[in-house]
Amino acid sequence: MRSVFITGSAGFIGFHLAQLLLKEGFRVTGYDGMTDYYEVSLKARRNAMLAQNPKFTATEAMLEDADALREAALAAKPDVIVHLAAQAGVRYSLEQPRAYIDANIVGTFNVMEVAKKLAVDHLLMASTSSVYGANTQMPFAEVDKADHPMTIYAATKKANEAMGHAYAHLHNLPTTMFRFFTVYGPWGRPDMALFKFTKGILEGRPIDIYNHGEMWRDFTYVEDLVRGIRLLIDAPPVRPESADDIAPGDTLSPVAPHRTVNIGNSDKVRLLDFVDAIEAATGVEAKRNFMDIQPGDVPATWANADLLQTLTGYRPETNIREGVQAFVDWYRDYYKV
C-alpha cells in the first residue's frame, strides 16, 4: 500500500486531497497545527471525518516544531510527501508578516529536511499564483518571470520554490512545486471571498467588492485541484541528461529533478460575474459595497495549464456556476441556513 504524508491535512485543500487519496486506497498520514487563523472547529470537523477511515492517522503539531515533524514522518515512512501547510492569506500577511516567515520559510525547511532524510520518491509542495506578482502578461505560464512579488506571502512562496530547487539539486530529491489559482469549493476557508460573500448575502449584510468589481480571477474548483495534485504524484521530475532533453514550455530544471506546474482553470472570471453566480446560487440579491483595491492585491490572475495537461492528461474545467452552487449547498447544510 502506497503511503502519503500530508502537511496541512485538516486544511481546506489538504482535507480534500486526503479524502481522494484514501478513496484510491492510499495510506495517509496527516500533520496539522490546527492554528486559529480561522475557526478551529471547521478544521476539527474535517479531521474527524478523515479519522473515520482506518487508513488515516494524524499528528497535531506545528511545522516549526522540527522534532515533532521528524518523529511523525519517520513513523509514517511515506513514499510521497505533499506539503500544503502554510500561513495563508494575502491580506493577513500585511498585518502579521512574521507568521509567514515562521510557517512558510522555517516550516518548509523542516519539511525538506525530513524529505531528504527519508529519501522519498517525490516531494510535492504548494506555491501560489501570487508569485507572478506584478507580471501583467497573461495567461501566466510557468516559464514567465515571477520576480516581483507584491506581498510577503508571495515572497515566502517564491522562496520555497528556490529552496526546493536547491534541495532537489543537492540531494537528488524529485520535487514538484504547484502554483494554485484561487481555489474554492465546499469546506472552504472563511477568510476567502466566496465564504465571506455567501455569509454576508445570506445574512443580509453588505459585501465589500474591491477595485469596484474590476478584478479577474482564475477560480479553480477544489476537487479539480486535488485531482491535479493526485496525478502529479505519479509524474515525478527526473534530472535531465542535458538541457536539450527539456521540451519547450516545460519547467524541468537542467540541473535538478525539479519542476514548477500551474494548476488552474485556464479561464479568468470577472469579480462581478462571480458575485452574480453567488446570487443565483443563494437566490438572494447582494448589497454591494464597492471599494478601492487593497495593497498587495493584483487586478487579475489567469493560468496557462498546458504543462499540467502535458504531464497528466488532465485539465481543470468545473464551471464557476456549478462550483459556486456546490459551495452554497454545503454552506447551507453545514451552518443550517
Catalytic residues: 153
Query: Which residues touch 271 (CB under 8 Å, ≥6 apart)?
Result: 193, 209, 210, 211, 213, 214, 215, 216, 217
Query: Which residues touch 222 (CB under 8 Å, ≥6 apart)?
Result: 12, 13, 16, 183, 184, 185, 186, 187, 188
Distance separating alpha carbons of residues 185 and 13, to the nearest angstrom: 10
- Report yes or no: 218 and 269 within 8 Å, Cβ to Cβ: yes
Residue 290's SS3 state is strand
Task: Let me know the angle formed at the C-alpha of 183 by 332 and 175, rounded to the nearest 5 degrees.
Answer: 140
Query: Which residues touch 20 (CB under 8 Å, ≥6 apart)?
Result: 223, 226, 227, 230
| Exposure class string for 124-154: b at 16+ Cβ within 10 A, else e | bbbbbbbbbbebeebbbbbeeebeebbbbbb
Residue type, position 205, single letter: R
| Residue whose cell numbers read 462571480 | 274
Cβ neighbourhood burial of 310 (10 Å; 0-12, 13-18, 19+)? middle
* Nearest C-alpha neighbor of 181 from the set 218, 214, 143: 218
Distance separating alpha carbons of residues 161 and 172, to the nearest angstrom: 15
Distance separating alpha carbons of residues 55 and 176, to the nearest angstrom: 25
